[in-house]
Structure 1
Amino acid sequence: MSYKIQEIATKPFDGQKPGTSGLRKRVKVFQQEHYTENFVQAIFDSVDAKGQTIVIGGDGRYFSPETVQTILKIGSANGVAKFIVGKDAILSTPAASNVIRKYKAYGGILLTASHNPGGPNADFGIKYNVSNGGPAPENVTDKIFEKTKTISSYKLIDLPALDLSKAGSFTFGPSKVEIIDSVKDYVELLESIFDFDLIKSFLLTNADSFKVLFDGMHGVTGPYGRAIFVDTLGLPPSAVQNAVPLPDFGGGHPDPNLTYAHELVENVESRNIQFGAASDGDGDRNMIYGKGAFVTPSDSVAIIADWAEEAIPYFKSGVKGVARSMPTSKQIEYVAKKKGLNCYEVPTGWKFFGNLMDAGKLSICGEESFGTGSDHIREKDGVWAIVAWLNILAFANKKSPNKLVGITELLQQHYEVYGRSFFSRYDYEEVSSEGAQKLVDALNAHITKGTLAGTTHKSASTGQTFTVADTLNFDYTDPVDGSVSKNQGQIVTFSDGSRVVFRLSGTGSQGATVRMYVERYVAPAAGAAELATETAQGLKGLIEVALEISKLKEFLGREKPTVIT
């Protein structure tokens, strides 16, 4: 096949700085002439992929098919030897991480804005993952950003678009392209981790009393859900809903939380379903929800860590260590202490977990933002977490054959041993960037001057008093490579062990998102009634105090958060 490589003149665009989750902007921004091409060329200029294999996948959101063609044309023109592409441009983030690792690829380009909405007026994203399957570290993303500021041209191979709808091997100019089944490798991976025979036996034996519902939220995991829950575990097709990936996620917000996964919650309650679960747009997040029982991500990772060695075959040889992101509750720390495991506290961002995993220090970890995972790949993995829960429940019921153990029972058992960290997150989305910065500046001033330490604050509605023990800005020194990450969030701790964390989030595409995390620990000795209190009631007083101390409503001009989880 004859082909010509063109050199297209261009000029830099402002603001093409990728974060841990890549570059995220509105679709219309990426559709500007040269905009996407500039960023893709900057990636190839930064990572030197000549003669290498690059994986391409994504969550199927609007503008993905066109961008895959752009990556193929620019990558081939820059000397990429081989591309491995998910059929129809579909490859979940966890599946892409697995493919990079399994086939020893040089890296991967993922087209996703994760849990953000999709469609022509919504969000798009481009993310680069390195050879370990995890997100590019800062030294790589910084280099990409520097390239975007000086770019003057990009290379483009002059070839017609490649048909992405058929699996197989193809030639694309000087490059080879392997279009793969996006589900097959991932299902095989999970089958090597979990006891599928045990799960299937449990589900079939208790088909009438233990029903399952998985919600793909019209994101990437619909086909994975069908392959696992229906084809492999033998559940009826009705056990999976919203399973067709759509460019606009069916007009919904593919974020698996109590607000946006309301259809799952409603169906679980109305149909008396014991185990409900949802995943997000690109498949790296999850929510576990059974009738009357919501599992916080902080509790979820703690329970998985507690049962892992006993219940899950992959961990039979032992858990190397556990970790949580700083805003995540300390529930997993109580498990680690009892089991004699190291527990690491890292900044938000999966790359920090990846470093610990590569060094052999970490097996199980989680973020409060509905991300949970292990060292089987280098991304958080929503479907993995869901199957982990089913494996644990199947094992728990094998141990207690005379009484059905569901989500509620598993949570109660856990709290009776470890106590409970009441935890909630308030998201204030697309607020004024100026107001958000004023909030952060005010908190940092308190930290610098120490003006809050020792002050006592009383909740008007509950009468509870909270005395500030300390305020700090979270800094992290990586124990593997010594790198330092500063200003990762403002923390207010109280004398009773409670704490409140404030963070400016980088996952939105415009404006600012402020997240407030509230945590209050109650020891096992408090008794069953206190441990079973509704989360909102358990945290009511502390939330009032947190809003008073931070003056959040005043700075952001918002009376209520966009989302409460």
Structure 2
Amino acid sequence: MTIHHHAGKPARPEDRINIGRLVSDYFLQAPDISVAEQKVSFGTSGHRGSASKLSFNQQHIEAICQAVAEYRQKQGFQGPLYLGKDTHALSEPAFATAIEVLVANNVPVVIQADDGFTPTPVISRLIIVHNKTQKTKADGLIITPSHNPPTDGGIKYNPPHGGPAEGEITQVIEQRANEIIANKLVDVKRIDFTQALQSPLLSRENFIEFYVDELSQVIDMQAIAKAGVHIGVDPLGGSGIHYWPVIAKKYGLKLDVVNPVVDASFAFMPLDKDGKIRMDCSSPYAMAGLIALKDKFDVAVGNDPDFDRHGIVTKSGGLMNPNHYLAVSIHYLMTHRDWPVSCKIGKTLVSSSLIDRVAKLIERPLSEVPVGFKWFVDGLHDSSYAFGGEESAGASFIARDGSCWTTDKDGFIMTLLAAEMLAVTGKDPYQLYQELAQKLGEPCYGRVEAVANLQQKQVLTSLTPDAITTDMLAGEEITQILSHAPGNNAAIGGIKVCTENGWFAARPSGTEDIYKIYAESFIDDKHLQLIISDAQKLVSAAFEAAGL
């Protein structure tokens, strides 16, 4: 993808969204579910869309929340449903709609005490703690499109295990929601918002105080404070913005929030690589503001709007590649926590093979699964996984005593871990990465995207090893072709091809009309580009064979 000429620069007036029009479209526009793009569709991170494109409107939220309420009833869940929202413009009206429908269905709903924002990992932690200590089963909904542009909205469901819902659950919710919309929403129970706010079914708790108090169970906060690590934080206008000052005060941290602004247009953001406003904390363009401040801090960190992703900026290396930070985090945790040696390291199959080499170095079991954090949920829940991470800068790990922390991605602990590493080892994460790369090899990693229609995405999803007719990739013999992940034998929704010194994976996006090629070489960048070129030819050949 060509880098936009304005990438990394401040948003211009023409880049800003019309929030009034967007919110009006949420209430006034109605989807046509005979159009695939306007149906309720749960990808790897819930249902996402835009009100102006008729893919995230009031009817979608009414139907999804009604479907969730019915699912809860069938499953016999009688505990609270923890409801959170991020700072996107569409999150506020969707939050109100959700409350109206859930309360009308006699669901006990718990929200943040000041009706404020709630990060994804906080909802996960709330569910886990409740279900560990209470007899009733709690679950949660988070209204967020993650790092997507300001025009987008999203909603995801976390069942009682606290993590992203599995496909068999989201399929039930998705199917029922579309059925409700097709039936003109006659099955939706809903009461007036003012009435819902006064209902005894709606209660408020101080989620901030709860989560911050718990943090020392998973991060050595005392070590960070004692070492006086100076942390710079850019919340990118996200849902965790009010958590950082409380964290700093409780644990005595030297921490500065460099951008305290919440603005649903996200007009303060530098533009991403494609010239759009996107709160991607793994993008050097979106993170340009924090990168410019790197020399002011020992370590600087950023998060996306729902705080399930992390970005790490160091004086020595700038913004770290997410794969490099995952490898460093795994090595540090496995050598600085007293966890059982049987605990697995979880990685997605598009994450760096450097992680495989780290696992081999420290003699810990590795489990490679398809894309999607849901594949780590069970392992994190029963602590058979010590760590689960994705190349897209999302990860979580178990508590210091080996118990479950969260079963969803936690951007807070991944950023605070960077400060702990520096406090304990005297080296920042990039310096630790350099030591690892010297021992294990320096990977060159790349990802490219291309437009793909629904039919092309379906072809990619159903590719089998038989579709690869060559035995060579970028001048090396192919050693492995995967359509199912080694860690759990689940379909990867695409194909992965490996050689001794490189690999590529091709798969369609679950949320956008594109396909992605991930590739890595342990030789050099020239070899990486050859892998990507060969991968593109193989994908094109598959499309041609299907007559597309």
TM range (shorter): 0.7 to 0.9
Partner of 1:311: 336
Q: Distance in 2 between matches of 1:276 and 1:263?
A: 11
Change (3 A) 1:467 1:263: same
Partner of 2:12: none
Q: Distance in 2 between matches of 1:87 and 1:421?
A: 46
Contact 1:322 1:344 in 2 (8 A): yes
Change (3 A) 1:288 1:230: farther
Please state how far the C-alpha of 1:98 moved relative to its aligned partner: 0.7
Matched, 1:65 2:104: no
Q: Distance in 2 between matches of 1:317 and 1:307?
A: 15
Q: Distance in 1 between matches of 2:333 and 2:78?
A: 40
Contact 1:489 1:502 in 2 (8 A): yes
Partner of 1:279: 303
Q: How many residues align?
A: 481
Consecutive unaligned residues in structure 2, runs of 5 or more: 1-29, 132-136, 270-277, 399-404, 542-548
Partner of 1:91: 118
Q: Distance in 2 between matches of 1:335 and 1:477?
A: 17
The equivalent position to 2:372 in structure 1, one of 344, 349, 372, is 349
Matched, 1:39 2:56: no
Partner of 1:406: 428
Partner of 2:51: 27
Contact 2:67 2:176 in 1 (8 A): yes
TM-score by length of 2: 0.80
Matched, 1:147 2:156: no
Please state how far the C-alpha of 1:30 moved relative to its aligned partner: 5.7
Please state how far the C-alpha of 1:231 moved relative to its aligned partner: 5.7
The equivalent position to 1:472 in structure 2, one of 472, 481, 505, is 481
Partner of 2:104: 77
Contact 1:500 1:517 in 2 (8 A): yes
- CA offsets per residue over residues 479-505 of structure 1, 9 Å max, x none? 5xxxx63243322323x3211122211
| Superposed counterparts of 1:206-245, under 5 Å | 211-229=230-248, 232-235=251-254, 239-245=256-262
Contact 1:225 1:243 in 2 (8 A): no
Q: Distance in 2 between matches of 1:356 and 1:77?
A: 35
Worse overlay, 25-34 or 98-107: 25-34
Change (3 A) 1:241 1:474: farther
Please state how far the C-alpha of 1:244 moved relative to its aligned partner: 3.4
**What residue identity is the alignment partner of 1:199?**
I
Contact 2:40 2:55 in 1 (8 A): no
Partner of 1:402: none
Please state how far the C-alpha of 1:17 moved relative to its aligned partner: 2.1
Q: Distance in 2 between matches of 1:468 and 1:69?
A: 56
| Superposed counterparts of 1:63-212, under 5 Å | 63-85=90-112, 87-104=114-131, 105-118=137-150, 122-151=151-180, 152=183, 153=186, 154-158=188-192, 160=194, 171-172=198-199, 175-203=200-228, 211-212=230-231
The equivalent position to 2:533 in structure 1, one of 547, 554, 563, is 547
Please state how far the C-alpha of 1:273 moved relative to its aligned partner: 3.9
Please state how far the C-alpha of 1:476 moved relative to its aligned partner: 3.5
Partner of 1:503: 507
Contact 1:439 1:552 in 2 (8 A): no
| Superposed counterparts of 1:446-525, under 5 Å | 447-454=465-472, 457=474, 466-470=475-479, 472-476=481-485, 479=488, 485-494=490-499, 496-508=500-512, 512-521=513-522
Change (3 A) 1:552 1:475: closer
Change (3 A) 1:161 1:20: farther
Please state how far the C-alpha of 1:364 moved relative to its aligned partner: 1.0
Contact 2:80 2:139 in 1 (8 A): yes
Contact 2:370 2:492 in 1 (8 A): no
Q: Distance in 2 between matches of 1:162 and 1:540?
A: 60
> 1:488 aligns to what SS in structure 2?
strand
Please state how far the C-alpha of 1:196 moved relative to its aligned partner: 1.4
Q: Distance in 1 between matches of 2:93 and 2:370?
A: 34
Contact 1:424 1:517 in 2 (8 A): yes
> 1:88 aligns to what SS in structure 2?
coil
Matched, 1:423 2:445: yes
Q: Distance in 1 between matches of 2:77 and 2:455?
A: 45
Change (3 A) 1:99 1:539: same
Please state how far the C-alpha of 1:162 moved relative to its aligned partner: 6.0
**What residue identity is the alignment partner of 1:16?**
V
Change (3 A) 1:317 1:342: closer
**What residue identity is the alignment partner of 1:107?**
D
Contact 2:110 2:205 in 1 (8 A): no
Q: Distance in 1 between matches of 2:370 and 2:539?
A: 26
Matched, 1:440 2:434: no
The structure with the larger Rg is 1
> 1:47 aligns to what SS in structure 2?
helix
- CA offsets per residue over residues 216-268 of structure 1, 9 Å max, x none? 111112222333346634325xx222233332333632111212111111222
The list of structure 1 runs, each at least 4 consecutive aligned residues, that deviate by more than 4 angstroms after superposition, is 30-33, 315-319, 552-555
Change (3 A) 1:241 1:230: farther
Please state how far the C-alpha of 1:31 moved relative to its aligned partner: 6.1
- CA offsets per residue over residues 427-453 of structure 1, 9 Å max, x none? 44xx24269549838x948x4244221
Task: Determine what percentage of the aligned residue pairs are the same residue.
Answer: 22
- CA offsets per residue over residues 283-310 of structure 1, 9 Å max, x none? 0111112134142222222222222254
* Root-mean-square deviation (Å): 3.1
**What residue identity is the alignment partner of 1:185?**
F
Q: Distance in 2 between matches of 1:316 and 1:475?
A: 29
Contact 2:444 2:521 in 1 (8 A): yes
Consecutive unaligned residues in structure 1, runs of 5 or more: 1-9, 164-170, 205-210, 398-404, 458-465, 523-537, 556-565
**What residue identity is the alignment partner of 2:377?**
G
Contact 2:233 2:300 in 1 (8 A): yes
**What residue identity is the alignment partner of 1:132?**
H
